[in-house]
Structure 1
Amino acid sequence: MDEDGKSGRLGLQYDLSDSVMTYITYSRGYKGPAYNVFFNMQPRDTEALKPETSNTWEVGVKATTWNNRLTTNLAVFHSDYDNYQANFFDSVAGQVVTRLINAGSVSTEGVELDYALQATGKLKFSGALSYTKARIDTFACPAGAAASCNVDGKTLPYSPDWKSYVRADYTIPLDNGLDIELGTDYSWQSEVQYDISQNPDTRQGAYGIWNASVALADYNSGWRVALLGKNLADKSYSPMLATGGNYVYRSVPRDDERYFGVQLRKDF
């Protein structure tokens, strides 16, 4: 197959002052034709998929204030995808069939905010907050699919509406040139669906993960040793859920439960 595609990015920037910058960008994305290569594909799934294209607009502002101690970034975006390529699980003659299909048109829009604040010489805060509305505008059901495949207006897989992150770091200088570093962070996200067919068994509820660390560092010599505590609230979650027959398959991440560790680092 011979196929040409175009992609690129165009942007304009305007400085309101020495510390505040605004911008607007337009991006064109392209993903070429694709073929089904699943072991259980059907004869009708041998034709090439159409290319996927996207158009994205983003408007934002970046500011550095309070004597360069506070950095803030804010962005608003909107993206449209045509001939969106996605995996689709369907039942044919009682068997689950995986298909790569041109799912139709989807769109994402939202707002993102992140910041970093050097509150004192020893204390630093940082964080981020985002809201993303990712929806299936029109879904092209593959030939022979069940009527339940109509998911127009539903949530795009792997796209929680809300995500947030906060972190605090505190450094204690010692007289011998060493530093004690205390750090903690918390990340949270709202409910997420992992299956484009909106299977209720592949929905992960909202969850948050809390981590912390204490470290001893000598940056003159280039070494750092840290004691880490991950998922201190012992919150179980899954970054991927899938179904097959009467089973639900669950991906288990490393920090699915509370654990502790030691990290050594040496810079040369």
Structure 2
Amino acid sequence: GVSARIAFDPNETTSIDAKLRYSEVEAASIAFNAAFSLPIYIGFLDGLQGFGVDPEQVAVDVNDFDWVFSSNIDPENEQETIEFSIKMDKDLEMGTLSAWAFYSDVEQALYSDGTSGAFQFYYGKDHCISSAIARSALLGDNAPMQQPTFNLSGLGSEFFGPYTPTTCDGLQSQIRNQEDFSFQVSLTSDEDSELRWQVGAYYLNIDRTVGVATLEDTGVMPPPLFSLINDRTDALVMDNFTTDVYSVFGSVNYDLNDRTEVSFALRYDKEEREVESLVPSPADGYLSKNINYCADASKFPNGCTLNGVQLDGSPWNPGFVDLDTGVVSATVPSRKKTFDELQPKLSITYDLGDNTTLFGSWGVGFKTGGFNNLGGKETIEMFLVNPDGLPVAPPDIYEKETSSAFEAGFTTTLADGTLKLNGAVFHSDIDDMQFFEFFVGPHGLLRVVEAIDEVTIQGFEVDMSWQMTDSIRFDAGYSLIDGEIDKMTVRPYVRGNEVPNAPEFTANAALTFDKELDNGINLFARLEYAYQGPTVYHVVQGGDLDAPRTLPYPIFDSGLPNEVPAVLFGGLGTDYSESEVDGYGIMNARLGVGSGNWKLTAFARNLTDEDYVAEVILAPEFGGSFVHPSVARTVGVELEYMF
């Protein structure tokens, strides 16, 4: 990538700063394995050890997972980005007028191997049959398989998961293109008066296209990137999302006395959102015979009909279909909705002494609602909702997230100003906390946003910075988070579980050296260590309260209470208690020299080559998780030159 910046003062009261950046990325895309959580299968797989199968891996702790990457598809990811921004500050008699504008255009596409091998809808294809034999243990080249999946001699003697070395799992392709423009103007009073204020307005326009497709893997080159609509497509969600954001804001700060300051801020946001489906119409012949859910007589006894005519296949997106009658529409209706929120914030600071300040604040937070891909709700209802009616399919519209948050803390300086300490405690009550969930099934991979109705988060954080000498500084910090799910309509049995994606605690420390040598060259170095405590990545966490049991028969019972059934495996019992990622620490280092307008830096990320699980995407109805390994030690050199 390349970037450029120009900053100048056209006169004594005006400054202008403009930036331009262009970048291209070509890299691998999805690098996941599947870690199953199906204890019942341990006995079924017994006897296959001679073929390299470890039955215990069918109910594996994600932290002990054995990574195998043997996909027949070389995953690719391309992204092109252009950004431009300009900012102006103008000094006026009453204060400072500031205005900025930002434009961004991002085009991204990726494809990778598919996740559909276990669902068998390509099993009748010659390419699937031949590739299964060619990669089998007894009749082929014995291609490595992720544990505990196996392929003895082709179809009929296999247990396939996602990302196999065969063509039987299809492939997945995604696009995410976004163009946005934003503008803000504000007027800020002088800082040296007892009463200080700011007023402003903000506007944002977003035009985003998001698409995810499941395609047939014929064994030849995958279709071009950015191409989701072609003769290999079997399932597709693709929509255009448009957003207009209007905001006004203001704040007032007032010094009650020499030691006490109070401030009040108020912001109002209004977001107008609209979504339009870009999936081609079944009326124009866009049907799939591979993922042919309309042929399932248990769901559609009379098949699917369009204008009274029975279809020879199924629409790419179930959003076209009335799931009760099988009647197919030619279009998926567009949707629009407006979200708004008034957000007050009250703060107070008190100088306890010359070196110590106490502070406290309360405020309302807001994160707008929006739309999932159209047809997502119907897809989940068709393929994943079990006889108990769970999980509840997330609606196409997810509501706004709001929070009421309180914080109190201190800042202090010791040892003649060389040691700085900060600490704070916080408590937040959150309504409709937004959570990304991945649903996996015969439709492929579907990502939706759903709401956790009520969440409580509290904790504390402390940090320090010690300037040991003129050249050496030591920094350290620690934070503890306690988050709990109080209510969730989509999965009511997760009440009491931890809030996902929030480590129980984090800790960090860094040592920095920065010194100018006699020859004018600046020598700098930094060694840092960061530790992340145990982390769960999903609301389902094992032993969940009152979890549903689709098939409560002894043969399907792993002996573990309160399991979430794997709907796609006939309701078999699961155990997700081992889906939590253990704590881990990473060390990074930098060493460099520079002078004036240039800097040369050598770096090492994950210096000790720590092996850990970077991410867990739990798919409860699938019966397992998609797990991503850590990035190995990375070393490199950076050269910066400013002109």
Report the TM-score when normalising by structure 1. Answer: 0.84
Which position in structure 2 is the counterpart of 1:41? 377
Distance 1:109 1:139 in 2: 19
Distance 1:33-1:214 versus aligned 2 partners, 3 A rule:
closer
SS at match of 2:370: coil
Moved more, 55-64 or 95-104: 95-104
Distance 1:106-1:247 versus aligned 2 partners, 3 A rule:
closer
SS at match of 2:353: coil
Residues 1:217 and 2:594 are matched in the alignment: yes
CA contact (8 A) 2:537 2:618 kept: no
Which position in structure 1 is the counterpart of 2:426? 77
Deviation at residue 86 of structure 1 after TM alignment: 2.5
Distance 1:197-1:96 versus aligned 2 partners, 3 A rule:
farther
Q: Which has the higher strand share?
A: 1
Which position in structure 2 is the counterpart of 1:150? 493
SS at match of 1:150: helix
* Matched letter for residue 480 of structure 2: Y
* Matched letter for residue 5 of structure 1: E
Aligned runs of 1:64-143 on 2, under 5 Å?
64-88=413-437, 99-140=448-489, 142=490
Distance 1:41-1:118 versus aligned 2 partners, 3 A rule:
same
Bigger Cα Rg: 2
Distance 1:165 1:4 in 2: 38
Deviation at residue 40 of structure 1 after TM alignment: 3.6
Distance 1:248 1:175 in 2: 57
Coordinate RMSD, CA, aligned: 2.8
* Matched letter for residue 265 of structure 1: E
CA contact (8 A) 2:339 2:368 kept: yes
Distance 1:176 1:250 in 2: 51
Distance 1:129 1:85 in 2: 26
Which position in structure 2 is the counterpart of 1:236? 611
* Matched letter for residue 21 of structure 1: T
- Picking from 165, 174, 182, the partner of 2:517 is 174
* Matched letter for residue 155 of structure 1: E
CA contact (8 A) 1:41 1:97 kept: no
Deviation at residue 18 of structure 1 after TM alignment: 2.2
SS at match of 1:191: coil
Deviation at residue 168 of structure 1 after TM alignment: 0.3
SS at match of 1:197: coil
Which position in structure 2 is the counterpart of 1:204? 581
SS at match of 1:232: coil
CA contact (8 A) 1:214 1:227 kept: yes
SS at match of 2:377: coil
CA contact (8 A) 1:36 1:100 kept: yes
Residues 1:6 and 2:342 are matched in the alignment: yes
Offset from partner CA, 1:203-232 (integer Å, 9 cap, x none):
3211100111221122xx232211112111
Which position in structure 2 is the counterpart of 1:57? 406
Distance 1:122-1:91 versus aligned 2 partners, 3 A rule:
closer
Distance 2:369 2:591 in 1: 49
- Picking from 231, 246, 258, the partner of 2:633 is 258
Distance 1:90-1:258 versus aligned 2 partners, 3 A rule:
closer
CA contact (8 A) 2:473 2:511 kept: yes
The alignment covers a number of residue pairs equal to 258
Distance 1:38-1:111 versus aligned 2 partners, 3 A rule:
farther
Distance 1:157-1:174 versus aligned 2 partners, 3 A rule:
same
SS at match of 1:235: coil
* Matched letter for residue 373 of structure 2: V
Distance 1:152 1:52 in 2: 18
Distance 2:357 2:345 in 1: 19
Distance 1:264-1:89 versus aligned 2 partners, 3 A rule:
closer
Deviation at residue 247 of structure 1 after TM alignment: 5.9
CA contact (8 A) 1:33 1:51 kept: yes
Which position in structure 1 is the counterpart of 2:290? none
Distance 1:7-1:222 versus aligned 2 partners, 3 A rule:
same
CA contact (8 A) 1:41 1:98 kept: no
* Matched letter for residue 372 of structure 2: N
Offset from partner CA, 1:63-92 (integer Å, 9 cap, x none):
122222112111110000123232445689
CA contact (8 A) 2:522 2:594 kept: yes
Distance 2:442 2:634 in 1: 45
Offset from partner CA, 1:146-198 (integer Å, 9 cap, x none):
xxx51111111110111011000123542212132222000001111111222
Distance 1:2-1:222 versus aligned 2 partners, 3 A rule:
closer
Q: Which has the higher helix share?
A: 2
Distance 1:82 1:174 in 2: 55
Distance 1:115 1:266 in 2: 33
Deviation at residue 97 of structure 1 after TM alignment: 7.0
Residues 1:227 and 2:570 are matched in the alignment: no
Structure 2 residues not aligned, in runs of 5+: 1-336, 382-392, 542-575
Distance 1:97 1:266 in 2: 44
What percentage of aligned pairs have identical amino acids?
24
Distance 1:248-1:85 versus aligned 2 partners, 3 A rule:
closer
* Matched letter for residue 41 of structure 1: K
* Matched letter for residue 51 of structure 1: K
* Matched letter for residue 104 of structure 1: D
Distance 1:242 1:75 in 2: 32
Distance 1:8 1:188 in 2: 35
Structure 1 residues not aligned, in runs of 5+: none
* Matched letter for residue 62 of structure 1: T
Moved more, 59-68 or 125-134: 59-68
Report the TM-score when normalising by structure 2. Answer: 0.37
Moved more, 40-49 or 177-186: 40-49
CA contact (8 A) 1:178 1:216 kept: yes
Which position in structure 1 is the counterpart of 2:365? 29
SS at match of 1:184: strand
